[in-house]
Amino acid sequence: MKELFILAVVTVFTLLTYYLVEPFAHSQMHKHVESEGFAYKDLPALTKKGDAARGKDLVMGAGACAGCHGIEVEGMPAPMDPVTAAQSYGVNPPDLSNAGAVFDPKFLAALIKNPAHALMVEHKFDANKGQMHPMTSFYGAGGDLDQEVADMVAYLQSIAPKAEELTPKMAFETACGRCHAIHYPYVKDGEAHPAWTQIGEKPTFKKKQDALAFETKVLDYQDALTKYMGTLPPDLSMYIRSRGEHYIKTFVENPQNYLKGTAMPRVGVSAESAEKIIEHLEDVGDSKRHMREEIGKNVMIYIIIFAIFAILWKKEVWKELH
């Protein structure tokens, strides 16, 4: 009985100290932000039902999207290589093949109408001061603006892969990969994936000249990006450990929550895509998590059996000591 009392005292003081230096101290150091579940409540809901065929005409025609964006699934490559594009616009405009699957439809509509507003970078791009966002607003092709935008969104959704076809890697590349590198290669489902740079996967080269030429392109791209963003966006290899899931999600949902005035835009991913991006960050930064859970179970069983034998041994030895 006395020993249990002593154990209780030790446990209480240990847990008290733990509570104070971990949950309590961190609540004092970091602002807690609740997720809105990627609802983007500040953006207006889509009221019109879009027509993909009309949307296609707008995207290819009056919308002039293809002037800057490639649409690989439609056989349309990007008009410029990534480095030239970044030197022209600051960042390489995304290929639109997956946009309808990765981004929230409400966000896409708002983006087409007013990019700086949807991206939450109006503090950086103020049209009244002549600071134009590199993506121009779509003011309509003569008809009902809301209907036209809904049509364009419907078109993007019609060419995009289905939710189950969109891999975590695709979600990451479309939403994050033109600004953020991940320099850790990783293996998933037996398939090896090379490191990711802002201009794509890092290929293996036979000749050093080719490797250096690629490296130069990456550095040129990063220079343009740094000029555009103010600083080079960080490599995300270990972000799942350094920031954790909750921070990443709430930050991506609204970067201004944590860093008022940051140049990082709200990227407008859907809730499902956010999950996939997290999964991708886990694949590269915490690739052994499944093994850890598996082995953890077995080790716990083994140790509990060990403890039972240890207790039995003690009882046996101490029988004649009492």
Partner 1 sequence: MAHFTKATSLHDWLNQRLGIDTVRRVMATEYWIPKNINFLWAMGMVLAITFGLLLISGIFLLMYYQPNVATAFDSVNYTIMQEVGYGWLWRHIHGVAASVVFLIIYIHMFTGIYYGSYKKGREMIWLSGMLLFVAFSAEAFSGYMLPWGQMSYWAGMVITNLFAGGSLHADGLVEWIRGDYVPAQAFLNRFFMLHVLLIPLAILGLIGLHFGALRIPHVNNQDGEEIDFEAEAAKYKAGDKANSKVIAFVNDFMSKDMMVVGIYLIFFFYLVFYHYDFAMDPVNFDPANGLKTPAHIYPEWYFLWSYEILRPFSTDVGLIAFAFAQVIFFALPFLDKSPNAVPASRRGLFKFWFWAMLIDMIILTAMGKVPPEGLFSTIGLYAALTFIGLWIALPFITKFEKKV
Name every residue whose Cβ is closer than 8 Å to that of residue 83 and which is 6 or more positions away in sequence.
Answer: 199, 217, 220, 221, 224
> For partner 1, how many residues bind (rule: CB under 8 A)?
51
Closer Cβ to partner 1, 45 or 318, answer by number: 318
Q: Which of 72, 241, 90, 87 is nearest to 170 (CA)?
A: 72
Helix (H, G, I), strand (E, B) or coil at 199: coil
Q: Is 216 in the site for partner 1 (CB under 8 A)?
A: no
Q: Is 226 in the site for partner 1 (CB under 8 A)?
A: no
Q: Is the dihedral of CA 180, 35, 244, 254 positive or negative?
A: positive
Contacts with partner 1, 175-204, as mask; x by CB under 8 A: ---------x-x------------------
Q: 75, 207, 260, 317: which one contacts partner 1 (CB under 8 A)? A: 317
* Min dist. Cβ of residue 26 to partner 1 (A): 9
Q: Is 107 in the site for partner 1 (CB under 8 A)?
A: no
For residue 256, the 8-state DSSP code is G
With 0-12 CB in 10 A as exposed, 13-18 as middle and 19+ as buried, what is 118?
buried
Closer Cβ to partner 1, 97 or 262, answer by number: 262
* Min dist. Cβ of residue 153 to partner 1 (A): 37
Cβ–Cβ contacts within 10 Å for residue 16, how many? 11
* Min dist. Cβ of residue 280 to partner 1 (A): 14
Q: Is 12 in the site for partner 1 (CB under 8 A)?
A: no
* Min dist. Cβ of residue 305 to partner 1 (A): 9
CA distances from 198 to 86, 133, 183, 210 (A): 10, 20, 10, 18
Closer Cβ to partner 1, 132 or 308, answer by number: 308
Q: What share of the chain is helix, strand, coil (3-state, %, to 5)?
A: 55, 5, 40
- Of 45-53, 55-63, 165-173, 313-321, the window that binds partner 1 (rule: CB under 8 A) is 313-321
What the block records as the tokens of 161 is: 């892969």
Helix (H, G, I), strand (E, B) or coil at 200: strand
Closer Cβ to partner 1, 158 or 287, answer by number: 287
Q: Which stretches does DSSP call E strand in the chain?
A: 186-188, 191-193, 196-197, 200-201
Q: 8, 15, 18, 72: which one contacts partner 1 (CB under 8 A)? A: 18
The angle that helices 82-89 and 208-229 make with each other, rounded to 10 degrees, is: 20
Closer Cβ to partner 1, 257 or 273, answer by number: 257
Give the residues lining the site for partner 1 (CB under 8 A).
Answer: 2-3, 6-7, 10, 13-14, 16-18, 20-22, 24-25, 28-29, 184, 186, 237-238, 241-244, 285, 287-288, 291-293, 295-296, 299-300, 303-304, 306-311, 313-314, 316-318, 320-322
